[in-house]
Structure 1
Amino acid sequence: MFLIVAAVLFAVFVINVSIGSFGGTPFFGNVGEMILLLAVSIAFTATILKKEAIKRAGK
């Protein structure tokens, strides 16, 4: 679940950067991009921690 959230948020980030690099007006500014990447890293970290907990419980 969290991995899907991280992937979707990262896709939004990539789309935003692509729009900005092709001369359009991106819908997030610098602070918005920073917050978006923070959310991606939190969701990814939650996924890794959850998988590690499942792995340890199985031992």
Structure 2
Amino acid sequence: MGNQLFQEARRFVEQAEQAAEEKNQGNLQKAIETAQNALTSAYANTTTAEKQQLKAYQERLDQLK
């Protein structure tokens, strides 16, 4: 099953990317905030490999800002 916080962070980043594609600024800002919170929560409870993936998710999120 894996790390649930990690999986949620990935899902929220994907949702933020979807909001960006829809060009809905209100939804995008909320989605970015939610994804950022999920990434922060997940980072403290992950393996080294997961941390590398979370950094990649953070970069994807940063591109949406």
* TM-score (ref. length: structure 2): 0.42
Give 1 or 2 for the bigger CA radius of gyration: 1
Scaled by the length of structure 1, the TM-score of the pair is: 0.44
